[in-house]
Each structure stands twice: as structure tokens, then as C-alpha cells.
Structure 1
Amino acid sequence: MSRELIAAALEAADRGWRVFPLTPRGKYPLRNFTAWEQHATTDPDRIRRCWARQPYNIGIACGPSRLVVIDLDQPKPGQTPPPRWDLPGVNDGADVLAVLCEHAGQPLPFDTFTVTTRRGGRHLYFTAPHGATLGNTSGDKGNGLGWLIDTRARGGYVVGPGSYVALRDGAGAYTVTKPTPPAPLPAWLAERLTAPPPTPASTTPPVALDRLDRARLSRYGHAALTGEVERVAGAPRGTRNRALNLAAWKLGKLIARGVLPREVVEHALHGAAEAANAQGDPNSPREIAAVITAGITAGMRT
């Protein structure tokens, strides 16, 4: 398996895409490899040395690779479309994209490098437009494209072809099904994915505790939560996930001791992460929630 993964990682690097290791049979960066966007590489020797250790899956850092990847997902068992997308013939992310193309009077952008994902979805690879900095989107949120469509660009990564992921919600390989070079991202999609200019950040990061029941918190718990929330809200670009994970880990220890209620911590940290997003290059809600959950869980186990 390692040989095949080494070959797949080298093939991606040969295309100019920067790669980094993901957990074996998983889709997340290694715990000690938090700066994956900075350390992703195309160096063949580094790739061979890294993947010779374990059969790591392959992560492709989209920003440094100048890629925008549109992830067309399949619904999970029992998942139904929201009212906006509850339309005849709309069953998955590809159908949603087809509706968007029809409304925009544009052709389907399927003539590009394509990877079939583990649950039967598709990753459409495009070259990033010059002069524009696109971030990540999730579903309908923000400037996202719609139900079951995520996009990954600067600050995001995708599981690369050659990987095999086995998780509770499905197992399977990531396989190249159209090896043509990535096409330029269509201008109309680039326009839709471009976030509006961020509002000026406040000199004092907002503390997202306004709607919480403060009576439930001890003085010590309130002080600890407020301090961590302020650090997360003020974290600069490139450090946000690390700051959020560290804060969740610290507060997770207090949750385990009964000092703080978990739902209060989750609400406050999510609000702080959204406040940090206002400074530009936002992290997606799904990514924020995953980092918070992982940090709290690790803290509670400590």
C-alpha cells in the first residue's frame, strides 16, 4: 500500500500540487502536523521519506497549489434537502450545481480534472483565478454555492487521489476519473465564491458571551472562558485553528471537572471563531465545529 501511496503523492507533486500526510485510512492531518499549509511540499525526496514511514493518506493543500476544488457530495442516509433545494431531480451536489448553471445560463463545468470520492461524490479541480484570493465555503453558508457543495481554496485541503478513507459514514478510495488538466475556474463561479470585503475588525475582540446564562458560571469559570474566547477572537491568520484547538483543549479539562457546561463552551468558542473570521480568510463552520469538538474531547480525556 505504501508504494501505491508514494506513487500517487509523487504524481500529484509532479502536477505542481503541494502534498502533506493525512492519517492512514483517514482524512485529517496528523496531530503533530498542524502547519500543513506551510509545510506541504512537491519535493520528491521528502515525499518518499515521509510516506515510507507509514501508509499515510494524501492531503493536497489547495492554496499553495493554486487550486480551487469544488466538492460535490452525496447525501448521507436519511439526509433530505432543505426547502430551497427540495426540487424535482435534485438529489446530490452535482444536481445542485446543475441548477446553478441553468439559472446562470452557463454550461456544466465538468470538463476538468475530476476525482471520484469514497462515497460516490466528485472533486472538480480548477486553477485559481489570478488576482483573486478565494477561501473555503460550506453548503449554503456565507457565499457558498448550495446544498452538498463545499469548496476548498486558500486555507483548505482535499483528500488526494490514491487515498483510501474508512470512516463511520463510509469507506472507499479516491480515484481519478478524468485525468485532463484542471481548467480555469469559470469567472461566474469565481464571482459567486468571492467573499465581500471584511468589515474593519474592532480593536477589542468581541467576547461571545452575551446570550449565555452567566448565572451558570462560577467566577473562575467565567474568567477562564472569557480569556480563551478573547484569545481565539483575536488570533491572526494562519494561527486560528491552533488557537481554537488549544482553547478547546484547556476548556475541555474544565468541563471534565464540572467547572463549565459543555454547551456554553461550544457556543462561546464558535462565536469567537466567527469573530476571527471577520478579519478575512474565514474558516468554514464545519471546520470550526470539528476543531472545537476535537479539542474539547482531548481536554476531557486529559
Structure 2
Amino acid sequence: MTHDPRTALLSAALDAAARGWHVFPLRPGTKRPALHGADRCRTTGDCAGGHLKWQERATVDPHRITLCWQTSPANIGLATGPSGLVVVDLDVPKNQDNSNSSADTPDGATTFKALCERTGHPVPTTHRVRTASGGHHLYFTAPAGIRLGNTAGTLAPLVDTRAWGGYVVAAGSLTPGGSYETVHDTAPAPLPGWLLELLQPAPARPVVPLRLPAVNGSRAALAALEAECAVVAAAPEKQGNITLNRCTFKVGRFVAWGDLPRHVAENAFQAAGEARGLTAAECRSTIRSALDSSLRKVRPRETA
């Protein structure tokens, strides 16, 4: 007797719906939505009142789910916003098996664990799904009355989040690279307060000239610090954390060489990050991580 993948995928889709999670079909073997786009919408059926996107068509209705998955071995998309979920995506480096890639690049699980340690919290225990690439999805219930969006690298490198406007591939889905499997089948824990603080948009701050502290240091170090802080303060929307990490890492070599006191660099980048709209806690965590990494990897001055 041959195994029909539709049966297993239907069962997984119904299981997700029974938990109150809104699902929709993805193209078989992929992570792409299988539903038509606005340019191909005939405004009939579900779209009779206007085109409905995937997050609006996601459902927990077992009858609709059965009709869909009985006819196609579709993968399962899980719309996080309507499902009342925030999913933390711990990714792995792309092309990690490529000889040209860095073998020591930390994955999302490692950078997230480091974030937890820096903020004084354990890695949360919650519903966990292993992805086809070897990463992990941590499921949390969204806080009441707060509508969080998606993030990419805001918490830490290779750590993304999916909430309103986002979706994840649900357990049971299959891709050429592997399957999505539940590895800790428990009810999602509430999103920890410290994570909520890091994910909430910072209130808008008035734009003021950036003033760096007057300190001793080499002219090159101070010029680099001022230039990189200006880059952070002017970072594009949703790129603040990544920019802060990159710029702090670049200035770290001057700290390692003794040209610039560490606390001066930390205070300057803290001011620049908060001016960009990042939270104080997010800035402290990113700055410390970037400086620590820079100090570990810095080359001697004569070879730089």
C-alpha cells in the first residue's frame, strides 16, 4: 500500500486548526502560498466582495480544510496574526555547507541563547517545531491588545519573528530539503515580557544633533566613532539593529588596539541607537555583543 502524502498533510492541517491556528495551502513542496494573487482574481467565491489575501483566507474550518487538502498535497501555511501567535524563527546560515561560507558563523539558536544570557533570562520553553533547514520555530501566544508585526534580525542575527502580516510553514509540511516536525509538543507559552519589550516599536524621539563625549583617543578612532554613530542614527526603517551591530563591530578594533575606551564607544553607540528609535535594552544587548565579537576577531594593527 502506498503512502498518500495528502492524508498526512490533511491530518496535520486539521490538527493545527483544532488548536485554533488559521491555516492556508502552500504550493506542494514549497513555502510559497498556493492561492491566487490580486492580478488573477476573478472576484468570485471567497473573493466575491473583493480580492482576499492569504491571511484573510486562512481558516480553522475543518470542512474547508478537508476539501482543499483532499485534492492536493499542499504544504501548510500558518497565519500567525489571526492565530494569536508570535513565532520566533531561529534560522541557520544560508549555504552553510558551501566551502566559501564561514564555518564558525553562529546560527539563530546560538545568537538567541546569547541574547537570553545577556538579558538574564533562560531560553523559553514552549511549543517548538524543527524546520526543514535545521532551524527552529518557537511558538508563543501573542499579548492581548498589542498588535506586533514581523521583524528580521531585530532581536539578534538570524533571529526573525512572525506575527501580524506573517506566516510560518507548519509542522507536517515537506520540502526537498526536509520536513517540518514538532519537537516539543506543548501549548505555546505566553510571549515573555522581556521579549515583548524588545519587539515593541520605540516611541518616536525628536531629532537632535548627535553629541559625542569629549575624550582622549586617537584622531582616527574618534573620527571613525563619529562617522559610524551618524550611520546608525540615520539607518533606514527596520534596519536600525542590524546597522548598530555592524557599525559597532567596525569601531571595536580601535577599542581592541587601545585607541578608544570601551565605555566611550558603548555610550556613544547607545545614544545613536536610541536616537534611531531602538529600545535602551536592545541597544545595550547589540552593542555588547558586537564589541565582544570584534575584540575576539580583531587583527593586529600592523596587518589590518
Under a length normalisation based on structure 2, what TM-score does the superposition of the two structures give? 0.58
List, as ranges, runs of 4+ consecutive aligned residues in structure 1 with deviation greater than 6 Å: none
SS at match of 1:135: coil
1:181-224 deviation per Cα after TM superposition (whole angstroms, max 9, x unaligned): 0000100001101123579xxxxxxxxxxxxxxxxxxxxxxxxx
Residue 161 (structure 1) aligns with: 171
1:76-111 deviation per Cα after TM superposition (whole angstroms, max 9, x unaligned): 224449xxxxxxx872101101111111111111x1
SS at match of 1:68: strand
Residue 127 (structure 2) aligns with: 113
Partners of 1:17 and 1:96 lie apart in 2 by: 28
Partners of 1:46 and 1:129 lie apart in 2 by: 29
Cα deviation for residue 152 of structure 1 reads 0.2
Under a length normalisation based on structure 1, what TM-score does the superposition of the two structures give? 0.58
CA change 1:39–1:197 in 2 (3 A) is farther
Contact 2:35–2:54 under 8 Å retained in 1: no
1:7 to 8, 11, 14: 11
Cα deviation for residue 71 of structure 1 reads 0.6
1:71 to 75, 81, 89: 89
Amino acid at match of 1:96: T
Asked whether 1:147 is paired with 2:157, we answer yes
In structure 2, runs of 5+ residues without a counterpart are: 39-52, 206-304
Partners of 2:162 and 2:17 lie apart in 1 by: 18
Asked whether 1:32 is paired with 2:74, we answer no
Residue 134 (structure 1) aligns with: 148
Give the total of aligned pairs. Answer: 183
In structure 1, runs of 5+ residues without a counterpart are: 82-88, 200-302
Asked whether 1:193 is paired with 2:208, we answer no
Residue 23 (structure 1) aligns with: 27
CA change 1:97–1:57 in 2 (3 A) is same
1:42 to 45, 60, 67: 60
Residue 286 (structure 1) aligns with: none
Residue 254 (structure 2) aligns with: none
Contact 1:134–1:193 under 8 Å retained in 2: yes
Partners of 2:171 and 2:163 lie apart in 1 by: 17
Q: Show the 5 A alignment for 1:1-302.
A: 1-32=5-36, 35-76=53-94, 77=96, 78-80=100-102, 91-109=106-124, 111-139=125-153, 144-166=154-176, 171-197=177-203
CA RMSD of aligned residues (A): 1.8
Contact 2:80–2:86 under 8 Å retained in 1: yes
Structure whose alpha-carbon radius of gyration is higher: 2
Contact 1:90–1:96 under 8 Å retained in 2: no
Partners of 2:133 and 2:169 lie apart in 1 by: 13
Amino acid at match of 1:195: P
